[in-house]
Amino acid sequence: MEIYFYCEFNGCKNSGIPVFFGESHEFLDIIKENSGAAAAAGITPGDFSETTICLGYFDGVHLAHRALFERAKKHGRWGVLLFDRNTKDVPLLTTQYEKIKILSELGADYAIIAEFSEKFMQRTPEEFADFLKDTLKVSRVVAGYDYRFGCKASGDSDMLSRLCQDRGILVEIAEPECDGGEPIKSTKIRKYIESGNIPSANHLLGYAYTVSGVVEKGFGNGRKMGFPTANVAYNFEKLLPPDGVYRGSVLGKSAVINIGKNPTFDAKERTLEVHLVDFDGDLYDEQIDVQLYEKLRDDIKFETVDELIKQIEQDIEKVRKNYGKKNFNGNDL
């Protein structure tokens, strides 16, 4: 998947052009190294004529988003418009790294990452439609029924259809994808994650809720007890479920995942630690994807370290028994 950056010169609307950066794997490497700050590889502008662009925030890249992407795929080359920062005042279901990775896996041909500047935020719906027509020059737009755009979200999907059609851009508005009679939305998935109901969240996502991060050196308490753990440096904008012990997987191996402050050791910082069952290897400085399946128990303080060791042994045994028997929804295969 090709990655393009868009920013405006001197804050003037529609003054920039989407400039090619590189392939998605190069962009992911940049994010790992310095939080996504990167200069474009050259001044080559993107050519998005005869392509379909998908509009939306796409947090979670869930089943409804994927249905929208399937619409775009039918018309040939397609991509998405994203922004360079979190534009909503809520924790993220998918960080920029995770979103780009998923989109690449889903077969998107390109992603345009626009600088969410003050001028961009102040665009009227009409100016945003001009941006699609005159700057991106796309031939078709696909958006969800609840899509909002323009300054203070003043434009809706009906206005998008009218403005784009006036400018010769074809428009498809996707109807809601429902589960149990209710539209699938990121807000609902977020509530499931916040309550620790991982199987229900995964059901709407269509994949296991994943936290990506680089493995860093921790305090080594797990190794001292005989259960080495990978301390994952996650993005603090990422939504984590409540403190507790979870079943999941890393690198295709079953994992016991602990989220919390390690109360038995009176730790101060909230950490994400992973013990890979029956794994012997060094993961330091590796970028890993921690997939969550279900919550096993709360993160509680034990009176002694021996009591904690006994409980961890039980957690590992429970995870080991479930290996291959339950999928990421928590249902029997």
Domain boundaries, the chain: 2-179, 208-322
Please report the pLDDT score of residue 233 as a whole number: 94
Please report the pLDDT score of residue 268 as a whole number: 73
75-96, pLDDT tens digit by residue? 999 999 999 988 888 999 999 9
Rounded mean pLDDT, 157-175: 97
Sheet architecture: strand order including 110-114: 19-23, 2-6, 110-114, 78-83, 52-55, 140-144, 170-174
Asked whether the predicted pLDDT for residue 49 surpasses 60, the reply is yes
Band the pLDDT of 34: cuts 50, 70, 90. Answer: low
- Report the top-level CATH class of 208-322: mainly beta
Going by the DSSP 8-state scheme, the letter that residue 56 receives in this structure is S
206-239, pLDDT tens digit by residue? 999 999 999 998 767 666 677 788 999 999 999 9
Rounded (10°) angle between helices 24-34 and 96-105: 160
Asked whether the predicted pLDDT for residue 19 surpasses 50, the reply is yes
The bridge status of strand 244-250 relative to strand 253-260 is antiparallel
Percent of the chain with pLDDT over 90: 68
| Between 304 and 112, residue with greater pLDDT | 112
Please report the pLDDT score of residue 42 as a whole number: 59
Rounded mean pLDDT, 262-279: 84
Band the pLDDT of 265: cuts 50, 70, 90. Answer: low
Q: How far apart are CA 198 and CA 293, in angstroms?
A: 6
Least confident of 141-150, 176-185, 212-221: 212-221
Least confident of 11-15, 125-129, 315-319: 11-15
CATH code for the structural domain at 2-179:
3.40.50.620
Residue 23 near residue 168, CB atoms below 8 Å: no
- DSSP per residue over 188-239, as a string? HHHHHHHHT-HHHHHHHHTS-EEEEEEEE----HHHHHT---EEEEE-TTBP
Q: Model pTM?
A: 0.91
Q: What is the mean pLDDT of the chain?
A: 90
SS3 322: helix
Asked whether the predicted pLDDT for residue 8 surpasses 80, the reply is yes
Band the pLDDT of 325: cuts 50, 70, 90. Answer: low
